[in-house]
Amino acid sequence: MSDITTNGHIAHPVGVGTGLALIPRATEKQSLKDFKSDQEVRWCPGCGDYAILAAVQSFLPELGLKRENIVFVSGIGCSSRFPYYLNTYGFHSIHGRAPAIATGLAASRPDLSVWVITGDGDALSIGGNHLIHALRRNVNLNILLFNNRIYGLTKGQYSPTSEVGKITKSTPMGSLDKPFNPISLALGAEAGFVARTLDSDRKHLQSVLREAAAHRGTSLVEIYQNCNIFNDGAFDALKDPGLRDDITLRLEHGQPIASASKAVRRGAGGRIEVVDRASVPEGEILVHDAHDPDPSAAFALSRLDEPAFEHVPIGIFRSVDRPAYDTLMSKQVHEAVSDQGAGDLDQLLRGGDTWRVG
């Protein structure tokens, strides 16, 4: 491990994390085929989930982990069917609870690579409490949050990431509540690794997964995912060849944050703002620091897509190491054993004030 900074965070370059260090490695080369299960995939034709599944299936061999040491845990929703389609261990659980179940699994089995598959309803509505506590606790989990900004499996109600005024079956006059920004929420919940990517951009998606897997602790990856039935085209602006290069602000550690036409800089009072790229000298464009222990710049970046998706940061907002909960938990167990010796049941039972009869 590298240096511990003053506030307890451990800094290391992206990609050199220890997230996979305790997980046994495969002895033979793996291929996409190894990770396909025998189950027929049953999402609606055209669903963004297909692209994510294909990206994950073709990415997993790259990790080189023993397949039997990989577990996918999900909650309820369209995305939560994901584990059935991967030939790893899998647990399709109940609505919102996947982070809790995965926490117990990962905390008791540091030799597993545990992935949580969840959606915007699952993670941010019914399971919001478990999500924020998983992030704060920092168990070694990778949480992939498929955000399609709608409820799919229950057939089209608005979700906690739907825009205000959304007309749906349950909100015929428009939704009233302000949506969560999952990135802001995760940063506020002390997450050490927070990223955003897009279902249709396999290369970027896989690069983010690579970093998430390498990160030891909880990583949250928001994946913009198109629901072509109930919320089609929600992210079209990011996919439109004529628009995407102007809207997308790529976040790459050590690189200036800019799209083709826009750039991010620190304005008056230190506020982060988006300006025309032409109006700002290259040297004044804000350089992205994903390892900044202070999350305030990452948080400010997470707010840039408000209110109307005019410019959307994509990439790793924050990647800062701090000790993972499961590591600390194992450490306490090992310390107890090394300090006091392994437990002896007879000794324990006879540990109080005892007396003998007869």
Partner 1 sequence: MTKQVQQLDRVIIRFAGDSGDGMQLTGDRFTAETAQFGNDLSTLPNFPAEIRAPAGTLPGVSSFQLHFADHDILTPGDAPNVLVAMNPAALKANIGDLPRGADVIVNTDEFTKRNLQKVGYAASPVDDGSLGEWRVHAVPLTSLTVKALEGFEVSKKDAERSKNMFALGLLSWLYHRPTEGTIKFLERKFAKKPDIAKANIAAFQAGWNYGETTESFSVSYEIKPATLAPGLYRNISGNQALAYGLIAASVRSRLPLFLGSYPITPASDILHELSKHKRFGIRTFQAEDEIAGVGAALGAAFGGALGVTTTSGPGVALKAETVGLAVATELPLLVVDVQRAGPSTGMPTKTEQTDLLMAMYGRNGESPVPIVAPATPSDCFHAAIEAARLAVKYRTPVMLLSDGYLANGSEPWRLPDADDLPDLSVEFAVEPNGEDGETYLPFKRDPQTLARPWAVPGTPGLEHRIGGIEKADGTGNISYDPNNHDMMVRLRQAKIDGIAQDIPPLEVDDPDGDARLLVLGWGSTYGPIAAAVRRVRRSGVKVAHAHFRHLNPLPANTGEVLRAYDKVLLPEINLGQLALLLRARFLVDVISYNRVRGLPFKAEELAGVIQDVIEQ
Cβ neighbours for 19, distance < 8 A, ≥ 6 positions apart? 113, 140, 142, 212, 213, 214, 215, 216, 217, 219
What part of residues 117-136 is at the interface with partner 1 (CB under 8 A)?
Answer: 129-130, 133
- Farthest CA pair distance, the chain: 95
Q: Which of 18, 30, 37, 327 binds partner 1 (CB under 8 A)?
A: 37
Size of the site for partner 1 (CB under 8 A): 59
CB 319 within 8 A of CB 142: no
Report the run of H or E that residue 134 belongs to, with start and end: helix 128-137
Of positions 9, 36, 67, 250, contacts partner 1 by CB under 8 A: 67
Considering only 112, 186, 264, 298, the residue that binds partner 1 (CB under 8 A) is 112
Candidate list 2, 31, 108, 296; residue touching partner 1; CB under 8 A: 108
Smallest gap from residue 168 Cβ to partner 1 (A): 25
Contact assessment for residue 155 and residue 121, using Cβ atoms and an 8 Å cutoff: no
The Cα–Cα gap between 307 and 121 comes to 20
Query: What is the smallest separation between the CB atom of 105 and partner 1, expressed in angstroms?
Result: 4
| 343 makes contact with partner 1 (CB under 8 A) | yes
Q: Does 50 bind partner 1 (CB under 8 A)?
A: no
The contact mask relative to partner 1 for 310-329 (x = CB under 8 A, - = no) is: -------------------x
271 binds partner 1 (CB under 8 A): no
- At residue 346, what is the residue type? D
Task: State yes or no: cis peptide before 281, omega within 30 of 0.
Answer: no
For the CB of residue 25, give the shortest distance to partner 1 in the complex, in Å. Answer: 13
Token pair for residue 77?
A: 């929703």
68: contact with partner 1 by CB under 8 A: yes
Residue 28 touching partner 1 (CB under 8 A): no
355 is a site residue for partner 1 (CB under 8 A): yes
102 binds partner 1 (CB under 8 A): yes
Per the document, the length of the chain is 358
Closest separation in Å from C-beta 301 to partner 1: 28
Tell me which H or E stretch contains 51: helix 48-63
Contacts 24+ apart (CB under 8 A), 234-241: 234/148, 234/149, 234/150, 235/198, 235/199, 237/309, 237/312, 238/198, 238/312, 238/314, 239/198, 239/200
Nearer to partner 1, 47 or 73 (CB): 73
Could you say whether residue 353 binds partner 1 (CB under 8 A)?
A: yes
Stretch that binds partner 1, among 53-61, 224-232, 307-315, 342-350 (CB under 8 A): 342-350
Q: In the numeric block, which tokens belong to residue 284? A: 């004044």
Only segment of 108-116, 154-162, 180-188, 258-266 that touches partner 1 (CB under 8 A) = 108-116
Regarding 33 and contact with partner 1 (CB under 8 A), the answer is no
- Candidates 323, 213, 197, 183; CA nearest to 252 is 197
Q: Are 36 and 234 in contact (CB under 8 A)?
A: no
Q: Give the residues lining the site for partner 1 (CB under 8 A).
A: 24, 37, 39, 66-71, 73, 83-84, 87-94, 97, 100-109, 111-112, 129-130, 133, 329, 332-333, 335-337, 339-343, 345-346, 348-350, 352-358
